[in-house]
Structure 1
Amino acid sequence: MSVIRLLLPAPGFAEISLNPEELEKQGVVVITTEPNTAEPMNFAALDLVLIDGEAALQDNLALIDQIKSIAPACKFMVLLRHSSAHAVTYMQAGVKGFLAVLPDAVKLTEIIRKLVQGEYYLDQNIAQLLAMRQIKKQLDPFVSLSSREFDVFCLLAEGCSLQAIALQLGISSKTVSNCQTQIKLKLAIDNRGSLRKFANCHGLIIDNSV
């Protein structure tokens, strides 16, 4: 069984109960390092990077680009504990694995080996959410929204700020604000809380505690 080298960029996983010793028993060597101080040769030897999806999106995307330039064969997996708002963006960046919760060492190793072999892995909840969004955007009442307005709607429901949405979608904050106005008018929603509850009722967000 070949040894897999897994990088956990630090900081970001202080509160995650991942046991390196248990993973090593499964043939996965865990490397924790500060991305800004790591030598290129360390990156070149990596097989997979587990990224904390709760960290800053742009920092994570920059790290992915940095590692890909040094180790093109390296694979990436993102842990999205509370929000799937950036799942599509991560996919576009080349991420092939998505977790909503961290499984035990045996299951995690199974997932890691699949990713290293070039396969995809999407947590069932995340996969269902992404599929639901593709379906719902073509059905009432969301058919009245443009594609961009629907994307803004989902990100607003996830709790993203207007500025964060603008950055992710590559548009201006003013455009996001205009989309928000149109969304409220078309869906007869008057505030962010109502919007979030509306999205939850239609299965468009992961967190059901609304």
Structure 2
Amino acid sequence: MKSGARIRVMLVDDHAVVRMGFRMLLSDTPDIEVVAEAENGEQAQQLCAQALPDVVVMDLSMPGIGGLESIARLTARYPGLRILVLSAHEDTIHPKRALKAGAAGYLSKRSAAEELIQAIGHIAAGRMYMEAALAQRMTLQQLSAQQNPVDVLSAREFEVFIALAKGRSVNAIAEVLNLSPRTVGTHLYNIKQKLGAGNQAEIALMALHAGLIDP
């Protein structure tokens, strides 16, 4: 990004009202320009080549390929692109997976508006940004060598795992993730094998204990 230039931002969230709120907020910031909006990862891939954003502000829970896979694809295709995750997930597993996929920062949607603007500026300048409370919890887990069982899941398996934990059927997951039911069934089998889970109820219990779903 050229010195003194406005930061070009693309918003990626499947809720139009959320995007509108962020656009209004960022439009009042003189150093930031919202150049594109996408409602899912697939659309983000298409618009990125046209809009050429410096920073993508992205949700994780979206229909289609999902946030984690979108991050991996975008950063692989556009190495200089910086991605800030803005998610409702406040556990430590989602931030770890987002950073591993290539994100440069992570904020929860409960963060103050000023922090979002600050985070965009940080990652546009080539730095990392992590919400302070999440960063502290992640550091404590690393110091205690605490590992969560779901860490063994691939990015796609993790998305299927979360959907199963929320009680969705194989067919429903297949439709949302644009996969065949057979592929989702294969992921389900692998998830059970890796986690030693016997059924969907046990998967939900594991997700609950990990803080990935609400009671």
TM range (shorter): 0.5 to 0.7
Aligned match of 1:101:
109
Query: Where is the helix percentage greater, Structure 1 or Structure 2?
Result: 2
Larger radius of gyration, structure 1 or 2?
A: 1
Which residue, 27, 30, 51 being the options, matches 1:42?
A: 51
**Structure 2 residue 11 is the aligned partner of structure 1 residue 3:** no
Which residue, 77, 80, 91 being the options, matches 1:73?
A: 80
CA distance in structure 2 between the partners assigned to 1:92 and 1:122 by the alignment: 13
Aligned match of 1:20:
23
When the two structures are superposed, what TM-score results if normalisation uses the length of structure 2? 0.61
CA distance in structure 2 between the partners assigned to 1:134 and 1:3 by the alignment: 37
Instruction: Flag structure 2 segments of 5+ consecutive residues without an equivalent.
Output: 174-185
State the shift of 1:97 in Å: 0.8
State the shift of 1:77 in Å: 0.8
State the shift of 1:159 in Å: 4.0
- What are the superposed Cα offsets for residues 105-127 of structure 1, whole Å, 9 maximum, x if unpaired? 43321111101111111123432
Change (3 A) 1:130 1:160: farther
Instruction: Flag structure 1 segments of 5+ consecutive residues without an equivalent.
Output: 165-170, 185-189
Aligned match of 2:191:
176
CA distance in structure 1 between the partners assigned to 2:101 and 2:207 by the alignment: 27
What amino acid does structure 2 have at the position aligned with 1:30? V
Which residue, 52, 57, 60 being the options, matches 1:53?
A: 60
Aligned match of 1:151:
151
Aligned match of 1:33:
37
Contact residue 49 and residue 75 of structure 1 kept, 8 A: yes
When the two structures are superposed, what TM-score results if normalisation uses the length of structure 1? 0.63
Q: CA RMSD in A?
A: 3.9
Give the percent of matched residue pairs that are identical in Structure 1 and Structure 2.
16
State the shift of 1:130 in Å: 3.2
Change (3 A) 1:206 1:100: farther
